[in-house]
Structure 1
């Protein structure tokens, strides 16, 4: 039966809500979406709970109307603004030698316990990136392996409790309940990464309206994340000041004439701030210089952050740029020059069934990633914000309530299981057993009445019992 899910990306410039259906085979079909201008959120942080709540509610209402579903549980994004990451290690012994989900959860809990997490922070992701079984390192999946000891290295992503609390209040004020919280750069990476990029190592940079975030994904999971409070809106602000024109006009200049590759000698007339009658003639060369300076500065800072991670040499597939700012012409070429020749591509969100054309834009990578996360495309093993272990294994448990009945069914001879007629024993079984025949269903009770442990095959056990009886 299909499951209905709701994803909400709470950004600084827009709030996007998407409703989708997840089929039994894991395929996702988008059924409704809503996008509104963000209010009460600045640089990824909620600054006004009431305004943010109204924006969330409007986006969700629009999505519900299109989808025809009244879903109230949502998976939401949280900004990298106050997120940090730290590494930890856990070690456990395996008492039964075989590694089960219980042991994997236990070793990850141990790593979390060993971590030095500040009191004002709360865990949102515990992501293992290296399992070690006995002396074997870099085990991809320890499940089902035989071992006496297991170790794990994890990357723990934490965020400030105040930011998490404000996010929760804003969502609940909109009449919704949170069933998943995901770091926005993590969600964006899920939407744009390919399988080869996951294996070879990739750096995903999400450049949004007021913020930019960076994560490094190597092998099994995220290894590093960082944040920069610079985005597309800062270019608009710089243009507004440099050209002495209103913000709305500066935004139009950025979209229509923004080009990082070529300078233009053309001039355009723009309105003056505070003066609706007069217009200034501005050279587009000035606009080019302003845009180039701001984007180059942001990419240089992000490049230094990547160097700080000490993981650059492990990134085999290069850089993936996504987010609204990547629509600037020439940004891929500029990034390729700044990141010292590493391959760079623009990342578009993975196309899902029923996906609206509007959602295929890089600025919607996060909300599409949230859908993928909720549908199960998270890290192979992961402890989420509710301390639940997420995994893809099907755990089968046998509930044995009657040991005698279980033993009887498992140990009865195959010949007797197939033949249901009573067996003539030719014996006087004495007081307490009134018939001289043995039905298959009574075999277990008969041996239980004798009070003897059944050993060997069933016929041998019967002979031994008869000898002791007589």
Structure 2
């Protein structure tokens, strides 16, 4: 089979990262060929606030990656910030007429779970991830394919996003000259790049500590079972330092980035420019820097702890927590997190090692963009209904990549289809909406139809 080039586009609130990876189906090998980064404009906490500015930032990052790689991508996979996502649990039940479960039964069961998901009318479905199967009432089935039985049940974690935010991001990406093949939750992508098989099996919480938000996912066994976001990030530390030290934001950012090096050098006083006074400088104590940084980190960890306690999964994290993202590089954040989470095991994670530009895997801030490339190459949950409403499964990705090499699909969100045309292109973006379900008001005919789907 021919090689394919995948563009992973991590749409962050502070920076947009782009990576182009070459995927070789014959050897199942992924190699990073190019990397690009641009300052984010037109987005706030992952939400598009100015389409034109956002498209310019996306174009700059993608152009740099393509220039480094010397090629254009065949597939584009874009991250969706956790800031405008949510989730619900849903269940699907189908009969197995042949007595043996095939991919068709799994597909029917997952589509039933998708149809049964109760979501707000302004939300669209991003992922349907099965975390448990039952065959004839027998639970803890890891993979039901090929098993004998007459009834298949699937329990899914359905990740949703705000419809208008998705559409605005699609428009901005199209204006940048790119067409999206898949949209992936940012925390999901980071999990693909950082978590080990054993951690997933035992239960693990991943926190991607970003610039303006912290994305949270919990992985138990087969799949993600929880996702959330905290609207606090490393930029809050920068602003705190700027205020406390009375210095411009650019200098405060530099202090934050080099904090560990400053500690190791033994510096006790810093000479800093004064806010609003270009020619004036003043001295600032490193003790103030340390107090400001630790106070913000402590507050962030407390807020994260509250999120995990409210989720109900804190006591199910058998392998503890994994921290990644740019903020995870701050000094002593691992020990402080473990202490505040009652001595839970904590690991600082970089993205898994891949061929090509090795330095990409050496930086924790690249976890999401590497995970997006992995997703495009076939690394995903064993079964999944993706942002296009299509079933993905492990043995299908090679065939899928071959058939979609020159096809750029926009996300398809079931059911009510809406078509609209980008001003500068004749390509149609098809989006469908799932209307809000209400069991009490459901028409009798719809109930009968769903029952027939379960039987056949």
Aligned counterpart for 1:342 among listed residues 329, 341, 344: 344
Deviation, structure 1 residue 264: 7.6
1:126 aligns with 2:124: no
Residue in 2 that maps onto 1:377? 379
Q: Relative to structure 1, is the Cα distance of residues 358 and 94 closer, same or farther in structure 2, using a 3 angstrom cutoff?
A: closer
Residue in 2 that maps onto 1:14? 15
Q: Relative to structure 1, is the Cα distance of residues 312 and 260 closer, same or farther in structure 2, using a 3 angstrom cutoff?
A: farther
Deviation, structure 1 residue 280: 2.0
Q: Secondary structure at the match of 1:209?
A: coil
Aligned counterpart for 1:220 among listed residues 219, 222, 228: 222
Residue in 2 that maps onto 1:3? 4
Take 1:394 and 1:178, find their aligned partners in 2: how far apart are those partners? 20
Take 2:104 and 2:135, find their aligned partners in 1: how far apart are those partners? 15
Residues 10-53 of structure 1, C-alpha deviation per residue, up to 9 Å, x if partnerless?
A: 11111111111111232101112211111112111111111111
Aligned counterpart for 1:389 among listed residues 373, 388, 391: 391
Residue in 2 that maps onto 1:28? 30
Aligned counterpart for 1:114 among listed residues 101, 110, 116: 116
Is the CA contact 1:263–1:284 (under 8 Å) kept in the aligned structure 2? Answer: no
Take 1:4 and 1:44, find their aligned partners in 2: how far apart are those partners? 25
Question: Higher relative CO (CA 8 A, sep ≥ 6), structure 1 or 2?
Answer: 2
TM-score between both structures, scaled by the size of structure 1: 0.81
Is the CA contact 1:80–1:227 (under 8 Å) kept in the aligned structure 2? Answer: yes
Q: Secondary structure at the match of 1:177?
A: coil
Is the CA contact 1:82–1:160 (under 8 Å) kept in the aligned structure 2? Answer: yes
Residue in 1 that maps onto 2:289? 287
Output the aligned Cα RMSD: 1.9
Q: Secondary structure at the match of 2:211?
A: coil
Take 1:70 and 1:91, find their aligned partners in 2: how far apart are those partners? 43
Is the CA contact 1:260–1:291 (under 8 Å) kept in the aligned structure 2? Answer: no
Residues 162-206 of structure 1, C-alpha deviation per residue, up to 9 Å, x if partnerless?
A: 110111001100111110100001100110001111111110000
Query: What is the correspondence of 1:256-275 to structure 2 with a 5 Å cutoff?
Result: 256-257=258-259, 266-275=268-277
Residue in 2 that maps onto 1:277? 279
Residue in 2 that maps onto 1:90? 92
Deviation, structure 1 residue 265: 8.4
Deviation, structure 1 residue 393: 3.3
Q: Secondary structure at the match of 1:348?
A: coil
Is the CA contact 1:260–1:292 (under 8 Å) kept in the aligned structure 2? Answer: no
Is the CA contact 1:54–1:174 (under 8 Å) kept in the aligned structure 2? Answer: yes
Residues 217-236 of structure 1, C-alpha deviation per residue, up to 9 Å, x if partnerless?
A: 00000011110111111100
Deviation, structure 1 residue 62: 1.5
Residue in 1 that maps onto 2:176? 174
Greater Cα shift, 386-395 or 59-68: 386-395
Is the CA contact 2:350–2:361 (under 8 Å) kept in the aligned structure 1? Answer: no
Take 2:267 and 2:375, find their aligned partners in 1: how far apart are those partners? 47
Aligned counterpart for 2:76 among listed residues 71, 74, 77: 74
Take 2:160 and 2:40, find their aligned partners in 1: how far apart are those partners? 24
Take 1:187 and 1:346, find their aligned partners in 2: how far apart are those partners? 16
Residue in 2 that maps onto 1:368? 370
Residue in 2 that maps onto 1:324? 326
Runs of 4+ in 1 over 4 A off after TM superposition: 258-265
TM-score between both structures, scaled by the size of structure 2: 0.84
Deviation, structure 1 residue 356: 3.8
1:150 aligns with 2:149: no
Residue in 2 that maps onto 1:60? 62
Query: What is the correspondence of 1:307-322 to structure 2 with a 5 Å cutoff?
Result: 307-322=309-324
Take 1:260 and 1:150, find their aligned partners in 2: how far apart are those partners? 59
Residues 103-156 of structure 1, C-alpha deviation per residue, up to 9 Å, x if partnerless?
A: 101111111111111100000000000000002101000011111001111000
Deviation, structure 1 residue 303: 1.0
Q: Secondary structure at the match of 1:393?
A: helix
Deviation, structure 1 residue 72: 5.7
Structure 2: segments with no counterpart, 5+ residues: 398-456
* Count of residue correspondences: 395
